[in-house]
């Protein structure tokens, strides 16, 4: 089979989604399945929906358009603030978008009017991670503006932590979000359908002691796809960590010295070669490199060590056995390795386990 390739096991995606949906449902929290790391794969989207995700979220309108073209019929949110240059496409294909700029919401309103559609808006609030969102003190005036706009429905508010700065969602910042939801409802006499607390980094808080308050939605990508939470990069109990694996092929295996020889300058990607003489080692080259993925984000099979990586070569050694030329090796991925592999034109995608699911 073609290599390198990403193998996506829909049964495991389904299992991970269902497990999270069930645990969060007990707390009154629904799941938005986030598809961006799969480039809006309609198969992955359908597995998430079948497992109980309420809706889909993606950061790119191109992915939302691709899922629509593939016939995915579910509510979809654009979870990155729309570009002004894309508002027409956004109102055409996304039911809702996440916003922090009143100017963009005005443009969405104009585009929705022109298209004869109604567009939902979730206003994002900055709670300390310093990525997207209105400062809490500016929320009221943004709500007021939004409520006045034709063809726009204020669907709710949301926040995003644990991304730019790694700020942890906790009882305090989530209570602040709930408090803002309550105060907006009191001040304006409206009902906010959605209070979207955050991403996979919220799971520790959501499944912990403190109670959800007003939060009734989490947007989950990494936890579903990789079975991992992003704050400590720890596996989430009960989830499969290998729903997506990267398979690559061995192209050379040789016994070589462990130390390079000759005068040395910089290596191709900056990182230095080994400086410890361990005597001769059997090293294998896998046809995989920085053009395909983030080599530092790969998890190697048991007993294997990574010796180095360049644009097209990954050098590994095995404690137990020699790899044969033509043999395939399966790697686990972190989020960085996943998005790089997904967007590399050299990496194929193979869907597994779609029998019995969907369609």
Ligand X SMILES: *Cc1c(COP(=O)(O)O)cnc(C)c1O
Sites of contact with ligand X (CB under 6 A): 34, 36, 59, 79-80, 160, 199-201, 219-223, 230
In the complex with ligand X, which residue's Cβ is closer, 65 or 132? 132
In the complex with ligand X, which residue's Cβ is closer, 59 or 318? 59
Separation CA 357–CA 359 (nearest Å): 7
3-class state of residue 339 by DSSP: helix
* Chain length of the chain: 359
Report which residue's Cβ sits closest to ligand X.
221
Contact 196, 32 (CB under 8 A): yes
In the complex, minimum distance from the CB of residue 21 to ligand X, in angstroms, rounded to a whole number: 14
CA-CA-CA-CA dihedral for 175, 21, 121, 123, to nearest 10 = 20
In the complex, minimum distance from the CB of residue 177 to ligand X, in angstroms, rounded to a whole number: 14
In the complex, minimum distance from the CB of residue 86 to ligand X, in angstroms, rounded to a whole number: 16
Contacts by 188-192 with C-beta closer than 8 Å and gap 24+? 188/143, 188/144, 188/147, 190/147, 190/154, 192/154, 192/155, 192/156, 192/157
In the complex with ligand X, which residue's Cβ is closer, 59 or 86? 59
Q: Is the peptide bond before 296 cis (omega within 30 degrees of 0)?
A: no
In the complex, minimum distance from the CB of residue 123 to ligand X, in angstroms, rounded to a whole number: 13
Query: Which tokens hold the place of 183?
Result: 């105060």
Separation CA 302–CA 7 (nearest Å): 19
In the complex, minimum distance from the CB of residue 225 to ligand X, in angstroms, rounded to a whole number: 7
Contact 13, 243 (CB under 8 A): yes
In the complex with ligand X, which residue's Cβ is closer, 32 or 42? 32
Helices (H), 136-170: 139-148
In the complex, minimum distance from the CB of residue 201 to ligand X, in angstroms, rounded to a whole number: 6
In the complex, minimum distance from the CB of residue 140 to ligand X, in angstroms, rounded to a whole number: 22
In the complex with ligand X, which residue's Cβ is closer, 41 or 284? 41
Residues 6 or more apart from 99 whose CB is under 8 A from it? 81, 82, 105, 108, 121, 122, 123, 124
Separation CA 54–CA 328 (nearest Å): 38
In the complex, minimum distance from the CB of residue 199 to ligand X, in angstroms, rounded to a whole number: 3
User: What pairs with residue 122 in β-bridges?
Assistant: 98, 156
In the complex with ligand X, which residue's Cβ is closer, 10 or 315? 10
In the complex with ligand X, which residue's Cβ is closer, 220 or 239? 220
Contact 100, 83 (CB under 8 A): no
In the complex with ligand X, which residue's Cβ is closer, 206 or 314? 206
In the complex, minimum distance from the CB of residue 173 to ligand X, in angstroms, rounded to a whole number: 15
Separation CA 68–CA 40 (nearest Å): 10
């Amino acid at each position: 089979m073609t290599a390198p390739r990403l193998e996506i096991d829909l049964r495991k995606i389904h299992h991970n989604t269902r497990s999270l949906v069930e645990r969060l449902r007990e707390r009154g929290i629904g799941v938005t399945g986030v598809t961006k790391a799969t480039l809006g794969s309609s198969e992955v989207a359908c597995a998430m929906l079948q497992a109980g995700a309420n809706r889909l979220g993606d950061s790119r309108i191109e992915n939302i358009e691709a899922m629509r073209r593939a016939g995915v019929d579910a509510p979809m949110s654009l979870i990155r603030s729309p570009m002004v240059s894309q508002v027409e496409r956004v109102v055409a294909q996304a039911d809702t978008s996440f916003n922090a700029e009143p100017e963009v919401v005005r443009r969405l309103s104009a585009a929705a009017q022109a298209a004869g559609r109604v567009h939902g808006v979730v206003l994002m609030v900055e709670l300390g991670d310093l990525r997207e969102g209105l400062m809490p003190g500016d929320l009221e005036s943004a709500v007021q503006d939004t409520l006045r706009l034709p063809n726009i429905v204020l669907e709710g508010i949301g926040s995003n932590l644990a991304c730019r700065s790694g700020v942890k969602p906790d009882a305090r910042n989530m209570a602040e979000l709930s408090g803002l939801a309550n105060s907006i409802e009191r001040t304006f006499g409206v009902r906010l359908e959605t209070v979207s607390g955050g991403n996979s980094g919220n799971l520790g808080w959501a499944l912990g002691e403190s109670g959800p308050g007003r939060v009734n939605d989490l947007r989950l990508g990494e936890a579903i796809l990789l079975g991992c939470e992003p704050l400590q990069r720890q596996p989430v109990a009960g989830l499969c960590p290998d729903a997506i694996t990267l398979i690559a092929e061995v192209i050379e295996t040789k016994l070589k010295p462990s130390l390079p020889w000759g005068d040395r300058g910089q290596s191709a990607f900056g990182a230095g070669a080994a400086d410890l003489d361990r005597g001769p080692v059997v090293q294998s080259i896998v046809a995989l490199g920085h053009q395909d993925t983030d080599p530092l984000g790969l998890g190697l099979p048991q007993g294997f060590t990574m010796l180095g990586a360049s644009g097209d070569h990954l050098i590994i050694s095995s404690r137990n056995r020699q790899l044969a030329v033509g043999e395939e090796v399966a790697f686990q991925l972190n989020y960085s390795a996943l998005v790089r592999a997904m967007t590399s034109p050299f990496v194929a995608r193979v869907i597994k386990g779609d029998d019995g699911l969907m369609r």
